[in-house]
Amino acid sequence: MQIALLLFPGITPLDAVGPYEVLQRMPETSIRFVAKEPGAMSDRDGGMQLVADASFDDVARADLLLVPGGFGTRALIDDVVTLDWIRSVDAATDWTTSVCTGSLLLAAAGLLDGRPATTHWLHRDLLRELGAVPTEQRVVTDGKYVTAAGVSAGIDMALELVARIHGADLAQSIQLAIEYDPRPPFDSGSPDKAPAEIVDRLRRAAATR
């Protein structure tokens, strides 16, 4: 299986690395790290850099396309070259997937028109404006289009993909290999569970950015 993983400046690293860590454990899988301009891609915040070693021209097709999110997606929503590449690769994929605000790019490319999809909880309105039908599930599957909610949801999405592609046995084996037995110290991971004042604070911060 050939996987194309889109990288860009302003990516949220965990959006890419969560599903990467699961998907790369599938047999006979090769992953390309693709960017408009290859090189080291920084996130906006903490200075981590992930390396893209392939250009759009280098990777014209893939069985699975993975588009992660991050603040850098805003600059790409109307980037014709990036959206054209996404559409072109999507034309031959078995699976077209996103994590977090990566779905904004799939939607901007016209791939989610009228489809149920998800994104980071703070950006569901923008996903709707771009033509998709936001839902509150953590992972949304509509045919070959699979979108995950914010950041960490990509791990859950990737395990679901492995189960669909190779079956439950391999998905369970990979879950055990990455010891994914989550025990967050709080139950604050979604806006319907977190304290209301924390939800409000994040909404206000996002609105002023």
Contacting positions for a second copy (CB under 8 A): 12-14, 17-18, 20-21, 23-25, 29-31, 33, 40, 45-51, 53, 100, 120-121, 138-139, 149-153, 155-156, 159-160, 163, 168-169, 171-173, 175-186, 188-191, 193-195, 198-199, 201-202
* Distance, C-alpha 120 to centroid of its chain: 10
C-beta of 26 vs 83, nearer to a second copy: 26
C-beta of 40 vs 91, nearer to a second copy: 40
Strands 133-134 and 49-52: what pairing?
unpaired
Sole residue written with tokens 């998907």: 23
163 is catalytic: no
Tell me how far apart the terminal alpha carbons of the chain are, to the nearest angstrom. Answer: 39
Q: Which of 100, 122, 149, 151 is catalytic?
A: 100
Torsion of CA 115, 119, 124, 129, to 10 degrees: -50
Q: Which amino acid is at 151?
A: V
Enter the tokens of residue 153.
């949801």
Q: Least separation, in Å, of the C-beta of 192 and a second copy? A: 9
Q: Least separation, in Å, of the C-beta of 138 and a second copy? A: 5
Q: Least separation, in Å, of the C-beta of 76 and a second copy? A: 20
Query: Catalytic positions, please?
Result: 100
